[in-house]
């Protein structure tokens, strides 16, 4: 098995650690330090000349609520690049901790050398609206169609609309709520994968009425 | 204090929970379920007619490694939108758990009604390369200049280059490594804020030699 092909190097500081300013800050080399980001298993191919393939992407994000859209950024030299360009469709599979090793391996190995579904033991999940299969073991599968690509430098940004979603039935509560907190999702920060830890609050909690009757 | 202005509603399922397919999956309404995403404090303004302001953004992601670039998506009706468009500069401040309540409040309250720096108690941090100040309490500050905007629907996508970075000196180890795992960063998933939990591995760990000498 080959070595990681694009490890993200740690930026080096511009100045020694004793050169912190009055706020206790050091200037650091400009780099991709936004964190945590979602390390997702992106499936592509599955039609035409392309077998289904998997690539791990941490440069991903939601970009629009209506229509629901997300983006992924991919280096043109990656094997999956032609599959993404060629079909214009992919599935973003959110991994749980049980898929963490596969997530790492699918980010290191290449579809040029491996049938990643077979070798990782992950199961293709028929998609509802796109040709690439999802990953059955992943608790959430977002089926996407590319709307635009932008060449930014090392990476090409794929903007895509989310056309269909599949979720593990076990995550849906009797009342219909999606209990995503039970999915055991994982995060990526500065070269490390993390489980999600304790819940700190829900959206809007800072302005909800307190039990004592007051508001904060 | 007003109510949250754009709570992300939970999509409702298309079908009852007993309609799961053979993979145990349910079709779900297409929605912004990519998770976890980074709930960052974005500072803007600070020059011309605009006082410094803060807005919490979870629709953010890294989009390119070289040049280092990230994106944020903002609804045009947000107060910060004109500040972002007007200056073309902003700072992405990565919050730790100690800033979680401020993160939530800055996503709910509006700069039209509040001096968010003053009211949240957060301290402006002079930036190195852009006019908006960062947030001194946040362990990492990414100074960004907008390179392109795309109107996608409910949200406008701001693509930006990361021009300068400031980090807490306490996170830099004597050898020069940035120990970002000590920053206590937080994640956002489906309406909830989470601390990062246990580390599951580092990039490339799935192909490293095992202690016994073998490879997996």
pLDDT digits (tens, 9 = 90+) for B25-57: 999 999 999 999 999 999 999 999 999 999 999
Q: Closest approach of chain A CAs to the CA of B117, in angstroms?
A: 16
Q: Is B7 on the interface with A (CB under 8 A)?
A: yes
Q: What is the pLDDT of residue A19?
A: 78
Q: Is B59 on the interface with A (CB under 8 A)?
A: yes
Residues A72, A57: contact at Cβ < 8 Å? Answer: yes
| Higher-pLDDT residue of A13, A127 | A127
- Domain of B66? 35-207
For residue B90, which of B56, B49, B137 has the smallest C-alpha distance?
B56
Least confident of A147-156, A203-212, B76-85: A203-212
**Is residue B7 situated within a structural domain?**
no
Q: What is the pTM of this model?
A: 0.91
Identify the band that residue B209 occupies on the pLDDT scale cut at 50, 70 and 90. Answer: low
Residues B194, B186: contact at Cβ < 8 Å? Answer: yes
**CA B189 – CA B197 distance, rounded (Å):** 14
Residues B54, B74: contact at Cβ < 8 Å? Answer: no
**Is residue B26 situated within a structural domain?**
no
Q: Is 70 exceeded by the pLDDT of residue A6?
A: no
- DSSP code of residue A99: G
User: Which tokens sit at B200?
Assistant: 């599951």
| Number of other residues whose CB lies within 10 A of the CB of residue A1 | 13
Q: What residue of B is the nearest CA neighbor of A38?
A: B36
Using alpha carbons, list the distances in angstroms from residue B136 to B63, B114, B194. Answer: 25, 19, 22
**Is residue A75 situated within a structural domain?**
yes
Q: What is the pLDDT of residues B92-114, one digit of tens each?
A: 999 999 999 999 999 999 999 99
User: Which tokens sit at A16?
Assistant: 């020694």
Q: What would the mean pLDDT of A54-82 be, rounded to a whole number?
A: 98
Q: What would the mean pLDDT of B74-96 be, rounded to a whole number?
A: 98
Least confident of A1-10, A54-63, A72-81, A158-167: A1-10
Residues A45, A51: contact at Cβ < 8 Å? Answer: yes
Residues B138, B96: contact at Cβ < 8 Å? Answer: yes
**Is residue B55 situated within a structural domain?**
yes
Q: What is the pLDDT of residue A211?
A: 57
Q: Is 90 exceeded by the pLDDT of residue B18?
A: no
Residues B103, B43: contact at Cβ < 8 Å? Answer: no
Q: What is the pLDDT of residue B55?
A: 98
Identify the band that residue B124 occupies on the pLDDT scale cut at 50, 70 and 90. Answer: very high
Q: What is the pLDDT of residue B24?
A: 94
Q: Is 50 exceeded by the pLDDT of residue B66?
A: yes
Q: What is the pLDDT of residue A16?
A: 52
**Is residue A9 situated within a structural domain?**
no
Q: Is A189 on the interface with B (CB under 8 A)?
A: yes
Q: Is 70 exceeded by the pLDDT of residue B153?
A: yes
Q: Is 60 exceeded by the pLDDT of residue B10?
A: no
Q: Is 70 exceeded by the pLDDT of residue A7?
A: no
Residues B111, B127: contact at Cβ < 8 Å? Answer: no
What ipTM does this complex have?
0.91
- Return the CA Rg of chain B: 20
What does pLDDT average to over chain B? 91
Q: What residue of A is the nearest CA neighbor of B72?
A: A63
Sort out which chain A residues have CB atoms less than 8 A from B130's CB and list them: none
Element (H, E) at B189: strand B186-189
**Is residue B133 situated within a structural domain?**
yes
In angstroms, how far is CA A63 from the centroid of its own chain? 13
Using alpha carbons, list the distances in angstroms from residue A83 to A112, A135, A204. Answer: 12, 17, 41
Q: Is 70 exceeded by the pLDDT of residue A18?
A: no
Please count the CA atoms within 13 angstroms of the CA of A134 that sit on its side-chain side: 29
CB spacing of A197 vs B199 below 8 angstroms: no
Q: Is 60 exceeded by the pLDDT of residue B145?
A: yes
Q: What would the mean pLDDT of B114-128 be, rounded to a whole number?
A: 97
Window A:154-173, CB contacts with B under 8 Å = 154-155, 157, 159, 161-170, 172
Q: What is the pLDDT of residue B19?
A: 78
φ, ψ at A209 (rounded to 5°): -60, 140
**CA A147 – CA A196 distance, rounded (Å):** 31
Domain count, chain A: 1
Identify the band that residue B20 occupies on the pLDDT scale cut at 50, 70 and 90. Answer: confident
Q: What is the pLDDT of residue A214?
A: 42
For residue A74, which of A55, A87, A91, A88 has the smallest C-alpha distance?
A55
**Is residue A208 situated within a structural domain?**
no
Exposed/middle/buried for residue A173 (C-beta within 10 Å: 0-12, 13-18, 19+): exposed
**Is residue B85 situated within a structural domain?**
yes
Q: Closest approach of chain B CAs to the CA of A22, in angstroms?
A: 10
User: Which tokens sit at B214?
Assistant: 């073998």
Q: What is the pLDDT of residue A3?
A: 40
Q: What is the pLDDT of residue B208?
A: 87
Q: What is the pLDDT of residue B5?
A: 42
The CATH number covering residue B185 comes to 2.30.110.10
């Amino acid at each position: 098995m080959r070595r990681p092909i694009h490890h993200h190097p740690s930026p080096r500081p511009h100045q020694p650690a004793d050169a912190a300013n009055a706020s206790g800050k050091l200037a650091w080399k400009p780099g991709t330090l936004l964190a945590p980001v979602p390390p997702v298993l992106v499936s592509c191919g599955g039609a035409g000349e392309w077998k289904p393939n998997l690539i791990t992407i941490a440069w991903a994000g939601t970009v629009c609520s209506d229509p629901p859209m997300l983006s992924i950024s991919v280096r043109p030299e990656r094997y999956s690049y032609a599959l993404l360009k060629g079909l214009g469709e992919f599935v973003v599979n959110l991994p749980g901790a049980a898929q963490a090793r596969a997530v790492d391996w699918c980010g290191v190995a290449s579809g040029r050398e491996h049938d990643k579904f077979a070798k990782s033991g992950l199961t293709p999940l028929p998609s509802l609206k796109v040709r690439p299969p999802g990953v059955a073991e992943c608790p959430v599968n977002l089926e996407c169609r590319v709307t635009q690509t932008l060449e930014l430098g090392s990476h090409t940004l794929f903007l895509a609309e989310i056309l269909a979603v599949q979720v593990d039935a076990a995550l849906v509560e009797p009342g219909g709520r999606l209990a995503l907190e039970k999915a055991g999702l994982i995060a990526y920060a500065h070269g490390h994968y993390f489980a999600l830890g304790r819940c700190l609050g829900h959206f809007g909690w800072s302005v909800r009425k307190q039990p004592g009757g007051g508001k904060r």
